[in-house]
Amino acid sequence: MEKDAKIYVAGHRGMVGSALVRHLKTIGYTNIVARTSSELDLRNQAAVADFFAEEKPDYVFLAAAKVGGILANNIYRAEFLYENLVIEANIIHSAHQNGVKKLLFLGSSCIYPKMAPQPLKEEYLLSGFLEPTNEPYAIAKIAGIKLCEAYRSQYGDNYISVMPTNLYGPNDNYNLQGSHVLPALIRKFHEAKINNQPTVEIWGTGSPMREFLHADDLAEACIFLMNNYDGEQFVNVGTGEDVTIKELAELVKDVVGFQGDLVWNTDKPDGTPRKLMDVSKLHGMGWKHSIELRQGLEHTYQDFLQNEEVYAV
């Protein structure tokens, strides 16, 4: 990407989008276009078409999505499927109509079959059944990948897709009704600490294994791929390392400084047993994460403390 190119970051106030904007500015990209959801409803096809026709961005990072944890994914199944389908279809089609040079679509590791071999290789897509609790979201993200592939094969559009592992970092969602596991743990342990609670309840058995990538590392990887990768197949982005939920909980407990005990509610679902990404393709291109989990958690907890009034709603 040329330093003066006009770059549209869809979803710039979310965790991934804000990290992209921070990193783009840090390395000298100044012509960044963004709209809040109140300024541009990405579910509105006409509004998105008008925006692209007016702004004519050169490059697009499609980081806008309706996201949530296992509870939200399972309850709001229609919204997670419909809204994500509409957002990505509107942006990808308008990018095509307005001659965008290159688009990067952000998916999710939940696209992989529930019982796929570990670690998850890119070629395992559509090789088995999805995890039922987040199937609508996964199907929407798979559709986004296939849209990018279809516009590439039919029109020659340079659209690439990136599949990140579980993410965390500044501007995460800490609402306990809709958050992912890591921000939920940070908030639960923090509130238990300040309220002198003796225990914290955590869903499931603690046995599932999860991989975590800091959003700043993902942003760096996305910009690296935008500048260095033009292939049809999507690319996994992760650390290639995972921990059990129990190990994660103990680590977050330590970082937050909670002194009580953990109570596991085994009546609640565990979700997919393991989701470790095979990142050999990305490593082979020359990119590797730089923020290790404890360091990233310490940074993220400090960000939570500084923004607690905003996050803890």
Kindly list the distances between the CA atom of residue 186 and the CA atoms of 10, 75, 99, 270, in Å, as whole numbers in the listed order.
27, 23, 43, 18
Query: Per the annotation, where are the binding residues for substrate?
Result: 188, 203, 210, 270
CATH for 7-172+210-241+275-292, options being 3.10.450.50, 1.20.1440.130, 3.40.50.720, 3.40.50.620: 3.40.50.720
What is the pairing mode between strands 243-244 and 209-210? Answer: antiparallel
CA distance between the termini of the chain:
38
pLDDT in tens, 220-251: 999 999 999 999 999 999 999 999 999 999 99
The catalytic position among 8, 137, 174, 311 is: 137
pLDDT at 123: 96
pLDDT at 71: 72
Answer for the pair 211, 248: CB distance below 8 angstroms, yes or no. no
pLDDT at 268: 87
d(CA 113, CA 134): 11
The token duo for 78 is 């229609």
Instruction: Please list the ranges in the chain whose pLDDT falls under 50.
Output: none
Query: Per the annotation, where are the binding residues for NADP(+)?
Result: 11-17, 106-109, 141, 164-167, 180
H helices present in 103-214, as ranges: 135-155, 181-194
pLDDT at 75: 82
pTM comes to 0.93
Query: Per the annotation, where are the binding residues?
Result: 11-17, 106-109, 141, 164-167, 180, 188, 203, 210, 270
Q: Which residues pair with 277 in a beta bridge?
A: 120
User: 174 an active-site residue?
Assistant: no
pLDDT at 76: 79
